[in-house]
Amino acid sequence: MSEAVSGTRQGSDGPLLDVQDLVVHHGQLRALSGISLRVFPGEVYAIIGANGAGKSTLLRTIAGLHHPTAGSIVYDGRDVTGLRPERRATAGIVMVPENRRLFPSLTVEENLKVGATYARSGPWTIDKVYDLFPWMTERRGQRAVQLSGGEQQSVAIGRALVANPRMLLLDELSLGLAPVIVQRIYGMLPQILQSGVTVLLVEQDVSQAMRVATNLQCLLEGHTTLEGKPSDVTAAQVEAAYFGTAGAVAGQPGDGSEA
């Protein structure tokens, strides 16, 4: 079922990211109710779920943009639960936000330079991003607002890469894009993984997530309804977990990532 892509697995056997029992509220609303996941180096871990399931809240909390009510986020063996977002970025946790969030009046290159603000040292430079997306070279002076949705998404990915992430968080890359563009953008994933980056992504497009993921977790109203490798879950289980209908078989949270 899966054509998961994976990068070079790094030295340590431990998870790069270990989230335990995360509870997040937006005011009175409990958006996440005890979410746990472990992402190992070189993996592509996908969070799937319908609108409002809590996927973006999870990613944004890992990036430091929401404060959890309870639970812990350990990154590279270090508890980062209370760390400010920019400190997480310099530690290597970098997010491509939902809806790209480029600076529309800045050029392609200026947007990429913004990404380098909290950069770690590493293989990614603006020139390397141009190698990954050759069309950008000619259009480096063009304003972001003049780009198509797919082009903007590529710039948003490039902006994240120049920060030299170890843990790249991708929030709904496919949002608002035609399937052929989505395929093209996800086609970059192997090269990104090869550079040593580990990926945690959020997708509403379940088949896309199943194609690229080494592990997945389905959220429904802030709860885990399914967890496992794409090859170990059936389409019926995914559908049940996604919509909350009978038939979902939840995995043991936190146990599905090691093999």
Q: Answer whether 24's CB lies under 8 Å from 206's CB.
A: no
* CA 235 distance to own-chain centroid: 22
Whole-number minimum distance, CB 173 to ligand ATP, in Å? 12
Nearer to ligand ATP, 53 or 213 (CB): 53
Whole-number minimum distance, CB 50 to ligand ATP, in Å? 7
Tell me how far apart the alpha carbons of residues 252 and 237 are, in angstroms, rounded to a whole number: 14
Q: What are phi and psi of 41, to 5 degrees?
A: -55, 135
**Three-class SS string for 130-199?**
HHHCCHHHHCCCCEHHHCCHHHHHHHHHHHHHCCCCCEEEEECCCCCCCHHHHHHHHCCHHHHHHCCCEE
Nearer to ligand ATP, 108 or 201 (CB): 201
Nearer to ligand ATP, 29 or 145 (CB): 29
Whole-number minimum distance, CB 98 to ligand ATP, in Å? 6
Nearer to ligand ATP, 52 or 150 (CB): 52
Whole-number minimum distance, CB 51 to ligand ATP, in Å? 4
Nearer to ligand ATP, 27 or 141 (CB): 27
Q: Answer whether 224's CB lies under 8 Å from 250's CB.
A: yes
Residue numbers at the binding site for ligand ATP (CB under 6 A): 26-27, 29, 31, 49, 51-57, 204
Tell me how far apart the alpha carbons of residues 230 and 213 are, in angstroms, rounded to a whole number: 7
Q: Answer whether 23's CB lies under 8 Å from 234's CB.
A: no
Whole-number minimum distance, CB 155 to ligand ATP, in Å? 21
Secondary structure of residue 65 in the 3-state scheme: coil
